[in-house]
Homo-oligomer: A and B are copies of this chain.
Amino acid sequence: MTLTHEQAVDRGTTGEPLGALFDPRSVAVVGASENPRKWGYWLARGALAGAERREVYLVNRRGTALLGSRSWPSLADLPAAPELVVVATPPGEVRREVELGLAAGAKCFVVITAGVGEPASQRDELELAALAAAGGARLLGPNCMGVVDHAAALQLCWGAVPAGQVGLVSQSGNLGLEIGRLLGRAGQGLSRLVSLGNQRDIDAAEALTSLVGHEHTRVIAAYIEDFRDGRRLTAALAAARAAGKPVLLLAPGRSAAAERAARSHTGALVSPLEVVDAAVAEAGALRLDTAGELADTAVMLLAPGGPLTTAGRFAADGRGGHRVAIVADGGGQGVLAAGSLTGAGLSVPALREDTAARLRDLLPAAAGVTNPVDLAGAGESDINSYALVVGALLTAPEADAVLLSGYFGDYGASSPPLAAAEAAVARRLADATAAADRPVVVHSMATTETPALQVLRQHGVPVFDRVEHATAAIGNAARWTALSPAEVPPFASAPPAGDGSYQRTRELLAGYGLSFPPAAFAADADSAAAAAAAIGYPVVLKAMGLAHKTEAGGVALNLGDERSLRAAFDGMRRRTGSGTFAVEAMVRRPGSVELIMGVRQDASFGPVAMVGFGGITAELLADTAIGLAPLTHARARRLLGSLRQAPLLTGWRGAEPIDLDAAAAALVAIAMAGAEHPEYSELEVNPVLTHPGGVTALDAHGVLVDSSDSQEGDHAA
């Protein structure tokens, strides 16, 4: 049902893929109204606001004049083709309007109506999208809150949306509105808003892609519940990163309730949040938790001297802008700002002696010229102190950003005669930040919007009313700067090779280069003994065909001679009733560390590789890392290095380091096996014995798609 991007490009009428959506030559509003409590009013009003740029046709059954403009009784009556048709009628009338629109030559539909059909049904929605596609038209919705493109004077939504540099794609109309408001309060706004609704044609990935090339969009924001083809979506995120545009993503997850709600809202299958996070981070984007955090971060990213306006100063020395100098009016605010910055993953470095000396010249003796700088009343005595001190820190080499926390911005309210002087200082701060190419971030106690704060916002300087908003925003901007997008190698499905048995899973993985101990499979004690003799004692004996072989007594370790092997064999056959047994070399390596490696098929994101520490505390500590499969060797090493207990791999307390390259190669092999063999919903090797000499896989566990569990190969070694 969904059109490919290429098809969409072919259909573009104004030179960009979704031109008919974002900048149509003409627009028709079906259901136009003069009643401000109706959608038809806001759509008509918004459409008319763009009347200088395009033809606007209001369609209203009565065909009378509306909002000072004429209307037509039906799409069939229009004097020319409407390139875009917006539909806000009862569900039962939507299909008829789309048919009329197609007949009139429409190239795109925006369906506000919450459903299609009487009663509304998913089938009717899918049929509608097919109808539009067959007629060569695109469709946004149904159940969407419209579309806005400020540069194209297109405003087809409820209410008004502040204009700015943030392009927003939202699967929730209300959240889109909330984000718009939060940005507006911060002096920012939206360049473009795409409310996705039920995504029956235009979906999140395509809408995101439309923002990558949109010159008026510098930061991209998105709320997505239903990732669908996660790889297509991450490709869009990666394209945005490559274009230097941060993507800030809100997504459900973290709780059963959030997943329940998302399912209830859009019927989406929710990927585990850690998978979303891994995919998003690999694509160089940020996943955030709330609309407020998103708006704050967008404003910070767009700040003068911030990550988008600098040739690298914010990310100086690969630090990702994380060294922050604090200027506070009192010691307490400085102390809490420092704690909050640290909590946000930033550093508050001590000032160099020459910087401290410059500050000493500017400030009274009681001031603190460490970092945080404590103005100790200097700002109240001379409001220029703010500009002088911040200016000195902006040019100091030890800080990537300056956070000003306290009174500034409030003088104009608490001492109105100071308003003009304060605004002048604000202007100096804005000039200084631009000149230094480093951001100044202001936390102001002001409760009203003073001229100084207006000046700051006009110049894009981020102003927050809580210090924790400022520190989180700086932290997120630094995180975005520091992300290094991962390359995900291409892959294609190989012919299915798995049957879920231990033997086949082992062979499959060995075929990808994973190293297993020598093994043979035997049905009776004599062949087991012969195999053991060939392999060499001590050996391990495992019973095949059991769901949980360790618990069933189906594993015997360290059998040193034929007598113990035969005894184990007899006992095991009796206990388990198994007909096949694996005889394997018993592997013991000094200095070894047990890891778990695996790969799983995610409903949205496809194969996802996992590596973690094994042993008895694996479950307790959940020290794992994940990445989209397949993995490059470099990415596999990064995943290993990201584990909390990674120092155990590299020579902890004088131990010999394990062979990290071999461990990474094993992970690469398992990840590729999972990627090329989607018949396995899950492949896991536990433990992977990593040691100074290499890597040995001591077991293998595979779950076939549509089987609730494998028959063999559980987690026992």
Contact = CB atoms under 8 A, between A and B. Distances in A.
Given A647-B620, A648-B617, A174 B406 contact: yes
Contact of A333 (B36, B159, B178, B329): B178
A115 B376 CA distance: 12
Contacts of A406: 174
A363 to B, nearest CB: 13
A425 to B, nearest CB: 17
A334 interface: yes
A265 B170 contact: no
A289 B254 contact: no
Contacts of A521: none
Contacts of A264: 331, 368, 370, 374
A244 B220 CA distance: 48
A434 interface: no
Interface string A201-233: 000000000000000000000010100000000
A348 interface: yes
Given A255-B342, A621-B621, A644-B621, A174 B348 contact: no
Interface string A245-279: 00000101111111011101110000000000000
B332 A289 contact: no
B331 A262 contact: yes
B225 A181 contact: no
Given A331-B264, A332-B170, A617-B648, A292 B467 contact: yes
A605 B465 CA distance: 34
Contacts of A347: 257
Contacts of A178: 333, 445
Nearest to A445: B178
A530 B381 CA distance: 80
A336 B647 contact: no
Contact of A332 (B114, B223, B333): B223
A171 B371 CA distance: 19
Contact of A652 (B174, B257, B616): B616
A675 to B, nearest CB: 30
Contacts of A332: 170-175, 223, 225, 250, 265
A99 interface: no
A255 B348 contact: yes
A335 interface: yes
A507 interface: no
A370 B261 contact: yes
Nearest to A366: B114
A343 interface: yes
Contact of A265 (B172, B173, B368, B377): B368
A184 B368 CA distance: 30
A177 B445 contact: yes
Interface string A297-334: 00000000000000000000000000000101111111
A708 interface: no
A716 to B, nearest CB: 12
A257 B177 CA distance: 39
A96 interface: no
A254 B329 contact: no
Interface string A651-675: 0110000000000000000000000
A253 B37 CA distance: 53
Nearest to A331: B265
A468 interface: yes
A564 interface: no
Interface string A27-46: 00000000011000000000
Interface in A143-197: 159, 170-175, 177-178, 181, 184-185
Nearest to A182: B466
A408 B551 CA distance: 56
B335 A262 contact: yes
A290 interface: yes
A90 B444 CA distance: 29
A209 to B, nearest CB: 21
A174 B370 contact: no
A403 to B, nearest CB: 11
A12 B621 CA distance: 56
Nearest to A655: B616
A330 B114 contact: no
A616 B343 contact: no
A328 B468 CA distance: 25
A414 interface: yes
A612 interface: no
A602 interface: no
Contact of A336 (B159, B252, B376): B252
B174 A407 contact: yes
A132 B523 CA distance: 96
Contacts of A343: 254, 289
Contacts of A172: 330-333, 335
Contact of A342 (B223, B257, B371, B621): B257
A415 interface: yes
A578 interface: no
A293 interface: yes
A225 B340 contact: no
A545 interface: no
Given A258-B338, A265-B330, A620-B652, 6 more contacts: A174-B328, A178-B445, A257-B348, A260-B371, A289-B340, A290-B468
The 10 closest A-B pairs by CB, nearest first: A172-B332, A265-B331, A257-B348, A255-B342, A174-B330, A175-B332, A257-B338, A292-B466, A258-B338, A252-B335
Interface of A: 36-37, 114-115, 159, 170-175, 177-178, 181, 184-185, 223, 225, 250, 252-258, 260-262, 264-266, 289-293, 326, 328-336, 338-343, 347-350, 366, 368, 370-372, 374, 376-377, 406-407, 414-415, 445, 447, 466-468, 616-617, 620-621, 644-645, 647-648, 652-653
24 contacts: A114-B377, A115-B366, A173-B332, A174-B445, A225-B335, A250-B332, A250-B336, A255-B338, A255-B348, A260-B370, A261-B335, A264-B368, A264-B374, A265-B332, A265-B368, A265-B374, A266-B331, A290-B467, A291-B336, A292-B468, A616-B652, A620-B645, A620-B647, A621-B644
